Structures are given as C-alpha cells and as structure tokens.
C-alpha cells in the first residue's frame, strides 16, 4: 500500500516538474517569425521607401503568435524602420525556402508576399497606394477628343483629276 502511494506521489511530482519546466523552454523560443533578408532594390512599403541593404523582418510579438503586423529593422534588428499590416496567405505546400516575392511597376519595387520556410502560411502585403494609382493609370484607356475636317489637298486632287478627265474626253 505504501509502495503504491509512493509510486503515485512520485509520478504526480514528476509530471508537475515536467509541466513546470516545459513552459520555461517554450517561452525561451520566439513564438513569432523572424526573417533576415538583403534587399537588392529600393522597396516601397506603404508611404516609406526602404533602401537596398540588410533587413530583419519580424512578426509583432503577440500572446497568440498570430499577429498580422510585420516590423522592419536595419542594423541587425536594432534600428526600427517601419511596420506593415499584412493579409494572411496560405499554401497547401509547406515552403521549402524563406523568400520575398517582389512586384514592380516600372523601376519601383514592392513586397508582394513573404513565405516562411517550414510553414504553410506566409504574409501578403497590400500594394502601396502610390504604385496602385500608377498601375491603374497604365491600365486605363484615355480618350482624346478630335474633329475631322476635310483636306483641301484631296479636293484639289479630285478637281484636277476631274478636269483632266474632261479635257481628255473633249
């Protein structure tokens, strides 16, 4: 009886110790995505332009880990540059590599999507308003009013041809 009670107490104590230690290890690991990238082009992000160079992109720390806000840093994550609200992007295939997908209009680049290695989700960033306005301009047809006036050269040529034809027949 004492052995059974001792085994049960030891089991509960071991389970409690395990549960007490495990959250400490989980809390030590970041529950958010952190990406390092070298941008080869100037990138328009919202109303801010990020110059080419090394950046750390980090998901805003959140209790649940599901924040849709990304923070952009330079200087190895020490200097805050800007933030961006994202749209969740899902893919049935787990990303093999972490990558940024850039879009561009002319020579102006923007971040379209970010995929995170080992995850079946990513981040979609809305196209900056300034670039969206420009893309709409490119796709819109413009109509210019014009008027048609008869050419005097054509009338002269027609009159000359008619006169020539009359003189041949007479």
In the chain, the number of structural domains is 1
Residue 95 lies in a domain: yes
Distance CA 29, CA 86 (A): 23
Using a cut of 0.85, tell me whether the model's pTM lies above it: no
Distance CA 134, CA 103 (A): 13
Residue 13 lies in a domain: no
Token code pair at residue 83 = 């933030």
pLDDT digits (tens, 9 = 90+) for 42-96: 999 988 999 999 999 988 887 776 788 999 999 988 999 999 999 888 888 888 8
Domain of 60? Answer: 30-138
Whether the Cβ atoms of residue 69 and residue 59 lie closer than 8 Å to each other: yes
């Amino acid at each position: 009886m004492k052995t059974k009670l001792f085994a049960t107490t030891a089991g509960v104590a071991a389970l409690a110790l395990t549960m007490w230690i495990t959250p400490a290890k989980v809390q030590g690991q970041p529950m958010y995505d952190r990406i390092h990238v070298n941008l080869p082009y100037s990138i328009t992000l919202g109303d801010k332009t990020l110059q080419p160079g090394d950046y750390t992109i980090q998901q805003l720390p959140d209790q649940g880990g599901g924040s849709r806000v990304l923070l952009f840093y330079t200087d190895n994550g020490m200097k805050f540059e800007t933030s961006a609200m994202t749209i969740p992007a899902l893919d049935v295939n787990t990303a093999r590599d972490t990558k940024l997908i850039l879009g561009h209009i002319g020579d102006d680049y923007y971040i379209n999507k970010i995929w995170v290695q080992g995850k079946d989700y990513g981040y979609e960033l809305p196209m900056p308003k300034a670039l969206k306005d420009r893309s709409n301009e490119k796709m819109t047809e413009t109509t210019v009013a014009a008027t048609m006036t008869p050419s005097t050269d054509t009338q002269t040529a027609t009159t000359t041809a008619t006169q020539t034809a009359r003189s041949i027949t007479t």
